[in-house]
Amino acid sequence: MKPKGTKNSFTSPVINEMSLKLPSLSVNEGMARAAIAAFCSQLDPLPVEIADIKCAVSEAVTNCIVHGYKERVGTIYITVKLCNEGIVRIEIKDKGCGIEDVRQARQPLYTTDAENERSGMGFTVMESFCDKVRVYSKCGKGTTVTLFKKLQGK
Amino acid sequence: MAKNNCNLQVNCENGILTAKLCGELDHHGAVAVRTLIDAEMTRCKPQKTVLELSELDFMDSSGLGLIMGRYALAQRMGGEFSVSRPNERILKIFKLAGLERIVKLEGVVCEKNKKERRKANETKGN
């Protein structure tokens, strides 16, 4: 274990906060990432950082639709917090089926849905484009993915 | 259903099938794009299939699945397959999956040129 404080703990005070609630329909994926990108623009991110955020959000929202609410339409809950020191915290939550083995789900190329041409790269993309990704999941209860991104030069 | 953010133009000439994707390719758009490309590939049995991505502004891992799937189909049909002019962003996602080592890439341009071209397009458009 690393002693506390050696790694960015992403706990700066919140400047602004937005909540979004949307039905888990794939047609809403574009809106979700565009809305979050627009909200984050308050912190004046670089174009590449906005692109990272959009892509990571797209992965998390797609997971809620494809895996969380596999057979039905449920609600996706998104909270975005803009914090001091250019820290963005995005929480994306579903009340769907949950993930049995989070560690396995996060492995590159692992997918439970190969026949629909899922690449199994969702979590890998999120991890590569964010500074930290936290996944909390409970079978039958749902999954919460929190994306942390520190904007450079802030 | 609302419109697909991903616009697709398919053209098959002299045994080369070119599928040009514009806009944003995500999970929502991928199904329609896949169906259309597959129908065309089955119909004209191309010697070569090219996915033209120069005007694709956004892609997530759904795009990786789509590209791998078309690559596999082209292989099964005994044809060549390549991806043409993906932008820096898309290339970054390719590299995460090691796709650039499997699929042939054509005309990879650096971000600077891309920006200049976008600028030129904007001036032309206005």
Query: Where in chain B are the domains?
Result: 6-125
pLDDT at position B115? 65
Strands B80-84 and B48-59 come out as parallel
Answer whether residue B126 shows pLDDT above 60. no
CATH at A112: 3.30.565.10
C-beta of residue A143 within 8 angstroms of C-beta of residue A99: yes
Which of B93, B49, B42 minimizes the C-alpha distance to B71?
B49
Contact (CB<8Å) B60/A26: no
C-beta of residue B39 within 8 angstroms of C-beta of residue B49: no
Distances (CA, A) of A34 to A16, A94, B3, B65: 17, 19, 16, 22
pLDDT at position B70? 95
pLDDT at position A90? 98
Please report residues of B whose CB lies closer than 8 A to that of A121: 61, 64, 93, 96-97
Q: With bands split at pLDDT 50, 70 and 90, how would you rate the model's confidence at B66?
A: very high
Strands A132-138 and A142-150 come out as antiparallel
pLDDT along chain A (154 residues), means of 10: 57 94 96 97 95 97 96 96 95 97 93 87 96 97 97 76
Q: With bands split at pLDDT 50, 70 and 90, how would you rate the model's confidence at B1?
A: very low
Domain count, chain A: 1
Interface with A, mutate which of B5, B24, B27 (most A CBs under 10 A):
B27
Q: CATH classification of B6-125, choosing from 3.40.190.10, 3.30.750.24, 3.40.50.2300, 3.30.420.40?
A: 3.30.750.24
Which of A123, A131, A55 minimizes the C-alpha distance to B91?
A55
Residue A65 touches partner B, C-beta closer than 8 Å: yes
C-alpha distance from A139 to closest chain B C-alpha (Å): 24
Q: With bands split at pLDDT 50, 70 and 90, how would you rate the model's confidence at B124?
A: low
Q: Across chain B, how many H-helices and E-strands are there?
A: 4, 5
C-beta of residue A87 within 8 angstroms of C-beta of residue A148: yes
C-beta of residue B41 within 8 angstroms of C-beta of residue B9: no
Nearest-CB residue to B97 (from A26, A62, A121)? A121
Nearest-angstrom CA–CA distance, A120 and A127: 13
Is A20 a domain residue?
yes
pLDDT at position A5? 46
pLDDT at position A2? 45
Which of A37, A38, A42 minimizes the C-alpha distance to A53?
A37
Nearest-angstrom CA–CA distance, B25 and B6: 5
Domain of A24 in residue numbering reads as 14-150
Is A21 a domain residue?
yes
ipTM tops the 0.90 cut: no
Residues 3-62 (A) with a CB less than 8 A from some CB of B? 26-27, 29-30, 48, 51, 54-55, 58-59, 62
pLDDT at position B72? 94
Answer whether residue B9 shows pLDDT above 70. yes
Distance, CA of A112 to chain centre: 19
User: What are the structure tokens assigned to B95, written together?
Assistant: 């590299």
pTM confidence score: 0.87
Contact (CB<8Å) B1/A27: yes
Question: A116 Cβ partners below 8 Å, 6+ apart?
Answer: A66, B65
pLDDT at position B109? 59
B70-121: per-residue pLDDT in tens? Answer: 999 999 999 999 999 999 999 999 999 999 899 999 988 555 555 666 777 7
Nearest-CB residue to B65 (from A26, A118, A128)? A118
pLDDT at position B119? 74
Please report residues of A whose CB lies closer than 8 A to that of B37: none
Between helices B61-76 and B27-44, what is the axis angle to 10°? 10
CA torsion B2→B4→B5→B9, rounded to 10°?
Answer: -150
Answer whether residue B3 shows pLDDT above 70. no
pLDDT at position A154? 57
B101 C-beta neighbours (distance < 10 Å), count: 8
pLDDT at position B4? 76
Mean per-residue pLDDT over chain B, rounded? 88
Nearest-angstrom CA–CA distance, B114 and B121: 10
